[in-house]
Amino acid sequence: MARRVRGAAAEIALSALVAVAAVVVGLLVVLIAGESPADAARSFFTGAFGANSIGATVRDMVPLTLVALAWIVVFKGGRFHVGFQGQILIGGLFSVFVALKMAGWPTIVHLPLAVVAGVAGGALWASIAAFLWARRGVNEIVSTLLLNLVAIQVISWVVRGPLQEPTRTLPQTEPLPDSALWPLFPGETILKWDVVLIPLAIAVVAFALSRTTLGFHLRLVGVNPTVARHAGVSPVRVGSWAIVASGALAGLAGSSQALGVSVGGMTDNFDSGFGFQGIAVALLARNSPVAVLPAALLFAALRQGGGVAQAELGISSAIVDIMQGVVIVSVIAAAAWLAMRRDAGTGSDPLARAATPLPVGGTR
């Protein structure tokens, strides 16, 4: 027990050090660029946590949290994919379609149906990769990467074709009816009620992974698929469901993006890069559902603070990308270091084991 506590404390400390290192590197880049690090830090902080900015920061946490949880689910099942961008886009498209085609329905029915449609859309798009992997042995990283490109083209066609706004002058849909949009918090202009998805999704995923049979099967397959097969658990079936479940969470993120807009219709770039940034959030959180909360807050603050710093001081937005890159590289390096320490003398490498493709056609 004491060893597990020490290990958890070490991982938390490493994640904190990674975050601090990213901030320090960002300030050094600002200094090299000839700007004042103090002014940059002040602008970053005000832009992320100021009275007029905190709502936007929390708003960005919604898709970051959901995508991070999606990565954690598929990672725990021993699979890896990078299809969250496509799943966000298709999930958002499904939500927008229901929102537009069921206009006039009461909010109590219309909004839940639009949200469920987004979840279904993300799961359906992910199921393509799951099927190709389970039945044809197609690597899910490759298939999901290509499916992202397909989803981008689908959305581009939709907002310039079947769902384009009536004047046919802008590449977007017509404004969504209020009955399908998440309502605003009282007195807020940006923050909407979809932020409740943050604690709700974290609690559901954490409980499912640690307290349910399905969560146990996911973790068993992720750690040792051979033992799982001997225990009567199909790695192929569990891995496939993990991919589909992660797609459902990404689809929920897409629904939040599509139905959480303040005004206007859906454009072809509403995913805003959350599909890949969410993976970085999960890595910083050390694949812990609970730790996703502070990690998502950091990345959301970087997004919002970086935008304000760019507007106020003329600082390049590339600095934020550099800071995020430092986080990703540092987390990977820290994970490798922890794994080597934990498995020193045993010859076991859980990261390599989890990354090893599962055989296709195993016990079903």
Report how far apart the first and last C-alpha atoms of the chain are (Å, whole number).
35
In this structure, what are the phi and psi dihedrals at residue 363, rounded to the nearest 5 degrees? -60, 135
Q: What is the Cα–Cα distance from 222 to 209, expressed in whole angstroms?
A: 12
User: Is the backbone of residue 139 left (phi > 0), alpha (psi -120 to 50) or beta?
Assistant: beta
DSSP string, 300-354: HHHHHHHHHHHHHH---THHHHHHHHHHHHHHHHHHHHHHHHHTTTTT--HHHHH
Query: Domains of the chain: which residue ranges?
Result: 2-355
Is-above-0.85 flag for pTM?
yes
What is the rounded distance in angstroms from the CA atom of residue 352 to the CA atom of residue 335?
11
Q: Comparing C-alpha atoms, which of 77, 69, 60 is closest to residue 250?
A: 69
* Dihedrals phi, psi of 166, to nearest 5 degrees: -55, -35
Q: Which two tokens stand for residue 3?
A: 């060893």
Over its length of 364 residues, how does the chain's per-residue pLDDT go in tens digits? 566 666 666 667 777 777 777 778 777 878 887 778 888 888 888 888 887 889 899 999 999 999 999 999 999 999 989 999 999 999 999 999 999 999 889 999 999 999 999 999 999 999 999 999 999 999 999 999 999 999 999 999 999 999 999 888 888 999 999 999 999 887 767 889 999 999 999 999 999 999 999 999 999 999 999 999 999 999 999 999 999 999 999 999 999 999 987 567 888 888 888 999 999 899 888 899 999 999 999 899 988 888 888 777 777 777 777 777 777 777 777 767 766 776 665 555 444 444 444 444 344 3
| Cβ(165)–Cβ(96) below 8 Å | no
Sign of CA dihedral 205, 206, 209, 214: negative
> Distance between CA atoms of 285 and 331, rounded to whole angstroms?
9
- Residue 11, pLDDT score: 67
Q: What is the pLDDT, as a whole number, of residue 303?
A: 87
How far is CA 158 from each of CA 165, 177, 208, 323, 327, rounded to the nearest angstrom? 10, 18, 36, 35, 36
Beta-carbon neighbour count of residue 16 at 10 Å? 12
Domain 2-355, what architecture? Orthogonal Bundle (1.10)
C-alpha span between 10 and 118 (Å, rounded): 38
CA 270 to chain CA mean position, Å: 14
For 114, the token pair is 């639009």
Strand partners, 154: none
